[in-house]
Amino acid sequence: MRAARYHRYGGPDVLRVDTVHVPRPGPREVLVRVHGASVNPGDALFRSGRMRIGARLPRGTGLDLAGEVVAAGDRVDDLAAGDRVWAYRGGLPKRLGTVAEYAVMRADRCAPAPADADLVAAAALPTVGLTAPLPADRAFDAVADLHGARARDYRRLLAHGGRMATTATRAVPFALATALLPGPRIRIVQVRARRDDLVALTRYADDGALRPVVDRRYPLDQVAAAHRAVATGHARGKRVIDLT
């Protein structure tokens, strides 16, 4: 199969499409034929080498997907070949990511995809849909930052004793630094990959309350271009890799 990976850290051009063996699902895992995977700022952060925690090269890219189950491992009794699913892997990059023709996912991090959804477009939703901001009690007492481009400016707006949290990977280095700086500390909120949350997203999508907004679809061979586009910080929707 073909899979996007990087063998050294750096800019988008370090990404390449390798030919690798199709992985096998282990216990409590499923093998998914990937239709679509989104490109997120976190993918660029890992690829650049700014976060190398325990990650040996080469590494795959991609944290979420939508596709079709082709095989289930032992101790998986609620998913079977032919099921349409979407999933969020989360965590640190592995040797193979979701930007690949096939991906092994934990079964408890998969949920039925929306019934009538285009699976390529549906890949735009898992990561953003699982990202929940913290509510503010009143103006400037709390700030929830989902973008990360102006984390320093938002922190300055906090009232005395105010709180700030970010889900934006581009804000992680500054957020970590605030532990040593005077003033409020920025808390890093991680997206949790829980099936119940994905099931809720499916229900919202099936009811028409939630729909994917795709800025552009890229073929696998243009994964580097998709990473360059994400780096601009400007988009009308998600960038999605089309693996059909």
Here the CATH number for the domain that contains residue 114 is 3.90.180.10
- Which residues make beta-bridge pairs with 33? 68, 102
Sequence-ordered list of residues with C-beta below 8 angstroms from that of 236, at least 6 positions apart, any chain: 213, 215
Domain annotation covers residue 107? yes
The mean per-residue pLDDT over the stretch 226-237 comes to: 87
- Which residues make beta-bridge pairs with 85? 67, 112
Share of the chain above pLDDT 70, in %: 75
User: 214 falls in which pLDDT band (50, 70, 90)?
Assistant: very high
Looking at residue 134, its pLDDT comes to: 47
The answer to whether residues 179 and 207 belong to one domain is no
Domain annotation covers residue 36? yes
The answer to whether residues 76 and 101 belong to one domain is yes
Share of the chain above pLDDT 90, in %: 56
The answer to whether residues 111 and 225 belong to one domain is yes
Sequence-ordered list of residues with C-beta below 8 angstroms from that of 243, at least 6 positions apart, any chain: 34, 35, 36, 37, 67, 99, 100, 101, 120, 220
pLDDT (tens digit per residue) in 171-213: 666 666 776 677 676 766 666 667 888 998 999 999 998 889 9
Domain annotation covers residue 178? yes
Looking at residue 33, its pLDDT comes to: 98
Which of 139, 147, 185 lies closest to 42 in space, CA to CA?
Answer: 147
The answer to whether residues 106 and 221 belong to one domain is yes
Domains in the chain, number: 2
Domain annotation covers residue 136? no
Looking at residue 149, its pLDDT comes to: 54
The answer to whether residues 149 and 29 belong to one domain is no
The answer to whether residues 181 and 203 belong to one domain is no
The answer to whether residues 27 and 103 belong to one domain is yes
pLDDT (tens digit per residue) in 120-131: 999 999 988 876
User: 166 falls in which pLDDT band (50, 70, 90)?
Assistant: low
Looking at residue 23, its pLDDT comes to: 96
The mean per-residue pLDDT over the stretch 141-165 comes to: 61
Where are the alpha helices (H) located in 105-189, listed in sequence order? 119-122, 126-129, 151-156, 172-177
The answer to whether residues 117 and 214 belong to one domain is yes
Looking at residue 156, its pLDDT comes to: 66
Range of the domain at 167: 142-188
Domain annotation covers residue 135? no
pLDDT (tens digit per residue) in 168-182: 666 666 666 776 677
The answer to whether residues 95 and 183 belong to one domain is no
The answer to whether residues 77 and 89 belong to one domain is yes
**Cα separation of 179 and 174, whole Å?**
9
Domain annotation covers residue 199? yes
Looking at residue 203, its pLDDT comes to: 92
> Is the pLDDT reported for residue 143 higher than 70?
no
